[in-house]
C-alpha cells in the first residue's frame, strides 16, 4: 500500500465504504488520489465526479508530490500510445509505470 504524507491522509485516501461503490457518491470520502498521476484531489460533492487538485496536505500542511501528469503523457507518446485512441497499458493505470521509468 502506498504511504502518504501523514496518517490522516493515509486514512482518507484509503476510506472504504460498504454503502457507496462509487467513491464520489460517498460523503465520507474527501480525497481522491490518482496514483497514475500522483495527484491528490479534493472531491467536490456536487453529484458528479469532479475534484479539485490540491498541492498541500489539508491535515499536516506538507507539500504533496509533484504531479506526474505531463510525464505520463510524454511516456505514453514515447511508446507510440495515444491515450485517447489506444488502450492504456495496465502499468499506466496506477503508479507502476513510475517504477519502470527512469527519472531524468
Phi and psi (nearest 5°) for 50? -95, 150
**Nearest-approach distance from CB 13 to Zn ion, in angstroms:** 10
**Nearest-approach distance from CB 3 to Zn ion, in angstroms:** 11
**Nearest-approach distance from CB 72 to Zn ion, in angstroms:** 23
Neighbour tally for 32: CB within 10 Å: 20
Residues that bind Zn ion (CB under 5 A): 5-6, 9, 17, 19-20, 26, 28, 57, 59-60
Q: Which is nearer to Zn ion, 36 or 64 (CB)?
A: 64
Q: Which is nearer to Zn ion, 2 or 17 (CB)?
A: 17
CB 15 within 8 A of CB 24: no
d(CA 61, CA 78): 35
Q: Which is nearer to Zn ion, 9 or 97 (CB)?
A: 9
Q: Mapping DSSP to helix (H, G, I), strand (E, B) and coil, where does residue 9 land?
A: helix
**Nearest-approach distance from CB 57 to Zn ion, in angstroms:** 3
Q: Interior CA angle at 77 toward 75 and 80, to 5°?
A: 120
Q: Which is nearer to Zn ion, 37 or 40 (CB)?
A: 40
Amino acid at each position: 500500500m502506498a504511504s502518504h504524507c501523514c496518517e490522516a491522509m493515509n486514512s482518507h485516501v484509503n476510506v472504504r465504504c460498504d454503502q457507496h461503490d462509487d467513491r464520489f457518491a460517498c460523503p465520507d470520502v474527501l480525497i481522491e488520489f490518482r496514483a497514475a498521476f500522483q495527484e491528490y484531489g479534493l472531491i467536490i460533492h456536487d453529484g458528479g465526479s469532479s475534484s479539485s487538485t490540491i498541492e498541500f496536505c489539508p491535515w499536516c500542511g506538507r507539500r504533496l508530490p509533484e504531479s506526474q501528469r505531463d510525464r505520463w503523457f510524454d511516456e505514453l507518446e514515447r511508446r507510440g500510445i495515444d491515450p485517447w485512441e489506444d488502450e492504456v497499458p495496465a502499468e499506466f493505470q496506477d503508479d507502476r509505470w513510475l517504477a519502470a521509468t527512469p527519472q531524468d
